[in-house]
Amino acid sequence: MKGYLIVAFLATVVVLSGCGRRPIPLATSYPLTTQQKMQAAHHWDVLADDVAARLKATLEAGFGSPEQFPDIYIPEPDKKRSQFSQTFYHLLTTQLVRRGVSVITNRARASQGSGSGYVDTIAYDSNVMVIDYDIQVIQHNDRRLSYPPPGIYTALTGGVWLVAQAIDSWDKAALAVFPVSVAMDLNSAADMYLPGETNTEVVITLTATRGSQHFFADTGIYYINTGDSEQYDDKMGKTMRVVNE
Protein backbone atom coordinates (compact mmCIF):
# COMPACT_ATOMS: atom_id res chain seq x y z
CA MET A 1 0.00 0.00 0.00
CA LYS A 2 2.82 2.36 0.89
CA GLY A 3 4.42 1.66 -2.47
CA TYR A 4 1.30 2.78 -4.31
CA LEU A 5 1.14 5.96 -2.21
CA ILE A 6 4.77 6.79 -2.98
CA VAL A 7 4.23 6.25 -6.71
CA ALA A 8 1.08 8.39 -6.65
CA PHE A 9 2.91 11.13 -4.76
CA LEU A 10 5.81 11.16 -7.21
CA ALA A 11 3.42 11.21 -10.16
CA THR A 12 1.60 14.17 -8.65
CA VAL A 13 4.87 16.03 -8.16
CA VAL A 14 5.85 15.42 -11.79
CA VAL A 15 2.47 16.61 -13.06
CA LEU A 16 2.52 19.74 -10.92
CA SER A 17 6.08 20.58 -11.90
CA GLY A 18 5.09 20.27 -15.54
CA CYS A 19 2.15 22.59 -14.99
CA GLY A 20 4.48 25.12 -13.43
CA ARG A 21 6.27 25.75 -16.70
CA ARG A 22 4.91 28.54 -18.88
CA PRO A 23 5.55 29.14 -22.57
CA ILE A 24 5.69 32.89 -21.93
CA PRO A 25 7.22 34.99 -19.13
CA LEU A 26 5.16 35.40 -15.97
CA ALA A 27 3.66 38.88 -15.69
CA THR A 28 4.76 40.84 -12.65
CA SER A 29 3.60 44.20 -11.41
CA TYR A 30 5.69 47.30 -10.86
CA PRO A 31 6.52 48.26 -7.27
CA LEU A 32 3.69 50.13 -5.58
CA THR A 33 3.74 53.79 -6.59
CA THR A 34 1.35 56.71 -6.38
CA GLN A 35 0.15 59.18 -8.98
CA GLN A 36 -1.72 62.40 -8.30
CA LYS A 37 -5.21 63.00 -9.65
CA MET A 38 -6.20 66.44 -10.95
CA GLN A 39 -9.80 67.35 -10.16
CA ALA A 40 -9.78 71.12 -9.56
CA ALA A 41 -8.33 74.36 -10.90
CA HIS A 42 -6.50 74.62 -7.58
CA HIS A 43 -4.50 71.56 -8.62
CA TRP A 44 -3.41 73.48 -11.73
CA ASP A 45 -2.20 76.30 -9.50
CA VAL A 46 -0.29 73.80 -7.34
CA LEU A 47 1.44 72.58 -10.50
CA ALA A 48 2.25 76.14 -11.60
CA ASP A 49 3.65 76.93 -8.15
CA ASP A 50 5.86 73.84 -8.19
CA VAL A 51 7.15 74.50 -11.71
CA ALA A 52 7.87 78.17 -10.92
CA ALA A 53 9.79 77.26 -7.77
CA ARG A 54 11.97 74.70 -9.54
CA LEU A 55 12.51 76.93 -12.57
CA LYS A 56 13.70 79.78 -10.35
CA ALA A 57 16.05 77.40 -8.52
CA THR A 58 17.47 76.33 -11.89
CA LEU A 59 17.90 79.97 -12.92
CA GLU A 60 19.71 80.73 -9.67
CA ALA A 61 22.05 77.80 -10.22
CA GLY A 62 22.81 78.91 -13.76
CA PHE A 63 22.83 82.70 -13.51
CA GLY A 64 23.19 83.60 -9.85
CA SER A 65 21.17 86.59 -8.66
CA PRO A 66 17.76 87.52 -10.15
CA GLU A 67 19.36 90.59 -11.73
CA GLN A 68 21.32 88.24 -13.98
CA PHE A 69 18.29 86.17 -15.02
CA PRO A 70 17.28 86.32 -18.69
CA ASP A 71 13.83 87.65 -19.49
CA ILE A 72 11.15 84.96 -19.57
CA TYR A 73 8.60 84.86 -22.36
CA ILE A 74 5.53 82.60 -22.28
CA PRO A 75 3.57 82.59 -25.55
CA GLU A 76 -0.06 83.30 -24.73
CA PRO A 77 -2.27 80.44 -25.97
CA ASP A 78 -4.99 81.32 -28.44
CA LYS A 79 -8.66 80.73 -27.77
CA LYS A 80 -8.63 77.44 -29.64
CA ARG A 81 -6.49 75.80 -27.01
CA SER A 82 -7.90 74.03 -23.98
CA GLN A 83 -9.15 75.54 -20.74
CA PHE A 84 -6.11 74.13 -19.00
CA SER A 85 -3.68 75.71 -21.49
CA GLN A 86 -5.26 79.14 -21.17
CA THR A 87 -5.58 79.01 -17.39
CA PHE A 88 -2.13 77.56 -16.80
CA TYR A 89 -0.61 80.44 -18.79
CA HIS A 90 -1.96 82.94 -16.26
CA LEU A 91 -1.20 80.77 -13.23
CA LEU A 92 2.42 80.19 -14.25
CA THR A 93 2.93 83.86 -15.10
CA THR A 94 1.58 84.85 -11.69
CA GLN A 95 3.77 82.39 -9.80
CA LEU A 96 6.92 83.49 -11.64
CA VAL A 97 6.24 87.21 -11.11
CA ARG A 98 5.60 86.58 -7.41
CA ARG A 99 9.11 85.15 -7.21
CA GLY A 100 10.67 88.20 -8.81
CA VAL A 101 11.26 86.62 -12.22
CA SER A 102 10.97 89.03 -15.17
CA VAL A 103 8.19 87.84 -17.49
CA ILE A 104 7.83 89.89 -20.67
CA THR A 105 4.82 90.16 -22.96
CA ASN A 106 4.95 89.95 -26.73
CA ARG A 107 3.62 93.49 -27.18
CA ALA A 108 6.05 95.11 -24.76
CA ARG A 109 9.07 93.27 -26.10
CA ALA A 110 8.33 93.78 -29.77
CA SER A 111 7.82 97.52 -29.36
CA GLN A 112 11.23 98.14 -27.81
CA GLY A 113 13.46 100.06 -30.21
CA SER A 114 11.22 99.43 -33.18
CA GLY A 115 9.33 102.71 -33.25
CA SER A 116 6.48 100.97 -35.04
CA GLY A 117 4.06 100.69 -32.16
CA TYR A 118 2.57 97.51 -30.76
CA VAL A 119 2.47 94.39 -32.90
CA ASP A 120 1.09 90.92 -32.33
CA THR A 121 4.31 89.00 -32.87
CA ILE A 122 7.45 88.97 -30.79
CA ALA A 123 10.97 89.42 -32.13
CA TYR A 124 12.87 88.23 -29.06
CA ASP A 125 16.63 87.75 -29.18
CA SER A 126 18.70 84.78 -28.10
CA ASN A 127 18.94 86.09 -24.54
CA VAL A 128 15.21 85.61 -23.96
CA MET A 129 14.17 82.30 -22.39
CA VAL A 130 10.99 80.93 -23.94
CA ILE A 131 8.64 78.64 -22.01
CA ASP A 132 6.42 76.22 -23.90
CA TYR A 133 4.16 73.48 -22.62
CA ASP A 134 2.52 70.54 -24.35
CA ILE A 135 -0.47 68.52 -23.20
CA GLN A 136 -1.30 64.97 -24.25
CA VAL A 137 -4.47 63.19 -23.17
CA ILE A 138 -4.12 59.41 -23.00
CA GLN A 139 -7.19 57.19 -23.00
CA HIS A 140 -6.65 53.56 -21.93
CA ASN A 141 -9.16 51.11 -23.36
CA ASP A 142 -8.10 47.85 -21.72
CA ARG A 143 -6.85 48.53 -18.24
CA ARG A 144 -6.79 45.69 -15.74
CA LEU A 145 -8.45 46.15 -12.37
CA SER A 146 -6.50 47.79 -9.61
CA TYR A 147 -6.93 47.00 -5.96
CA PRO A 148 -6.83 49.10 -2.79
CA PRO A 149 -3.75 48.76 -0.57
CA PRO A 150 -3.70 45.91 1.96
CA GLY A 151 -5.42 46.78 5.21
CA ILE A 152 -8.28 48.88 3.86
CA TYR A 153 -10.87 46.09 3.97
CA THR A 154 -9.63 44.94 7.37
CA ALA A 155 -10.08 48.43 8.77
CA LEU A 156 -13.56 48.75 7.29
CA THR A 157 -14.51 45.28 8.52
CA GLY A 158 -13.33 46.22 12.00
CA GLY A 159 -15.67 49.19 11.96
CA VAL A 160 -18.59 47.01 10.91
CA TRP A 161 -17.77 44.53 13.68
CA LEU A 162 -17.82 47.32 16.27
CA VAL A 163 -21.25 48.37 15.07
CA ALA A 164 -22.54 44.81 15.38
CA GLN A 165 -21.13 44.48 18.90
CA ALA A 166 -22.73 47.75 19.92
CA ILE A 167 -26.14 46.70 18.71
CA ASP A 168 -26.01 43.17 20.16
CA SER A 169 -24.30 43.73 23.50
CA TRP A 170 -24.61 47.31 24.68
CA ASP A 171 -27.41 48.26 27.04
CA LYS A 172 -27.64 51.75 25.58
CA ALA A 173 -28.16 51.39 21.87
CA ALA A 174 -27.60 55.13 21.39
CA LEU A 175 -23.91 54.57 22.07
CA ALA A 176 -23.76 52.64 18.81
CA VAL A 177 -23.36 55.98 17.08
CA PHE A 178 -19.68 56.03 18.06
CA PRO A 179 -18.58 52.86 16.26
CA VAL A 180 -20.83 53.88 13.36
CA SER A 181 -18.91 57.14 13.20
CA VAL A 182 -15.63 55.23 13.26
CA ALA A 183 -16.73 53.08 10.34
CA MET A 184 -17.90 56.12 8.39
CA ASP A 185 -14.62 57.94 9.09
CA LEU A 186 -12.64 54.98 7.81
CA ASN A 187 -14.69 54.90 4.64
CA SER A 188 -14.35 58.67 4.22
CA ALA A 189 -10.58 58.45 4.70
CA ALA A 190 -10.36 55.79 2.01
CA ASP A 191 -12.27 58.03 -0.41
CA MET A 192 -10.13 61.06 0.44
CA TYR A 193 -6.71 59.48 0.12
CA LEU A 194 -7.65 57.01 -2.60
CA PRO A 195 -9.75 59.05 -5.09
CA GLY A 196 -9.64 56.17 -7.55
CA GLU A 197 -7.77 55.52 -10.74
CA THR A 198 -9.37 56.32 -14.07
CA ASN A 199 -8.79 55.19 -17.63
CA THR A 200 -7.76 58.72 -18.60
CA GLU A 201 -4.40 60.35 -17.94
CA VAL A 202 -2.80 63.62 -18.97
CA VAL A 203 0.90 64.12 -19.69
CA ILE A 204 2.07 67.72 -19.26
CA THR A 205 5.53 68.63 -20.54
CA LEU A 206 7.06 72.06 -19.99
CA THR A 207 10.34 73.27 -21.49
CA ALA A 208 12.37 76.45 -21.15
CA THR A 209 14.73 77.12 -24.05
CA ARG A 210 17.30 79.80 -24.68
CA GLY A 211 18.40 79.99 -28.28
CA SER A 212 18.64 76.35 -29.37
CA GLN A 213 19.35 74.94 -25.90
CA HIS A 214 16.91 73.36 -23.48
CA PHE A 215 17.64 75.00 -20.14
CA PHE A 216 14.81 73.41 -18.14
CA ALA A 217 12.40 70.55 -18.79
CA ASP A 218 9.70 68.92 -16.71
CA THR A 219 7.11 66.23 -17.44
CA GLY A 220 4.27 65.27 -15.12
CA ILE A 221 1.69 62.49 -15.48
CA TYR A 222 -1.67 62.75 -13.74
CA TYR A 223 -4.97 60.93 -13.53
CA ILE A 224 -7.98 62.97 -14.59
CA ASN A 225 -11.67 62.15 -14.66
CA THR A 226 -12.66 60.92 -18.09
CA GLY A 227 -15.41 63.52 -18.34
CA ASP A 228 -12.81 66.27 -17.84
CA SER A 229 -10.58 65.26 -20.75
CA GLU A 230 -11.87 68.10 -22.95
CA GLN A 231 -10.48 70.59 -20.43
CA TYR A 232 -6.98 69.41 -21.36
CA ASP A 233 -7.28 68.42 -25.02
CA ASP A 234 -5.81 71.23 -27.14
CA LYS A 235 -7.54 69.92 -30.30
CA MET A 236 -4.40 70.97 -32.13
CA GLY A 237 -2.63 67.81 -31.04
CA LYS A 238 -3.75 64.21 -30.85
CA THR A 239 -5.38 62.21 -28.11
CA MET A 240 -3.33 59.06 -27.68
CA ARG A 241 -5.35 55.91 -27.32
CA VAL A 242 -3.71 52.86 -25.69
CA VAL A 243 -5.54 49.72 -26.82
CA ASN A 244 -5.08 46.01 -26.34
CA GLU A 245 -3.78 44.16 -29.39
Q: Both 123 and 211 in a single domain? A: yes
pLDDT, average across residues 91-118: 73
pLDDT tens for 196-206 read 788 999 999 99
Q: State how far the Cα of 228 lies from the Cα of 39, in Å rounded to an integer.
A: 8
Q: Both 77 and 128 in a single domain? A: yes
Name the residue range of residue 157's domain.
152-193
pLDDT higher for 171 or 83? 83
Q: Is residue 173 part of a domain?
A: yes
Q: State how far the Cα of 41 lies from the Cα of 224, in Å rounded to an integer.
A: 12
Which pTM does this prediction carry?
A: 0.66
Q: Is residue 28 part of a domain?
A: no
Q: Kindly report the average pLDDT of the chain as a whole number.
A: 76
Q: How confident is the model at residue 141 (pLDDT cuts 50, 70, 90)?
A: confident
Q: Both 127 and 180 in a single domain? A: no
Q: Both 133 and 81 in a single domain? A: yes
Residue type, 57: A
pLDDT at 222 over 90: yes
Alpha carbon 73 to chain centroid, angstroms: 26
Q: Both 159 and 55 in a single domain? A: no
Q: Both 169 and 57 in a single domain? A: no
The answer to whether 82 and 118 have CB atoms below 8 angstroms apart is no
Q: Both 206 and 163 in a single domain? A: no
Q: Both 215 and 166 in a single domain? A: no
Q: Is residue 10 part of a domain?
A: no
pLDDT tens for 18-53 read 555 678 888 888 898 899 999 999 999 999 999 999
pLDDT higher for 126 or 97? 97
DSSP string, 7-68: HHHHHHHHHHHHHT--SSPPP-PPPP----EE-SHHHHHHHHHHHHHHHHHHHHHHH-SGGG
Q: How many distinct structural domains can be found in the chain?
A: 2
**Segment of 1-5, 141-145, 179-183, 214-218 carrying the highest mean pLDDT:** 214-218
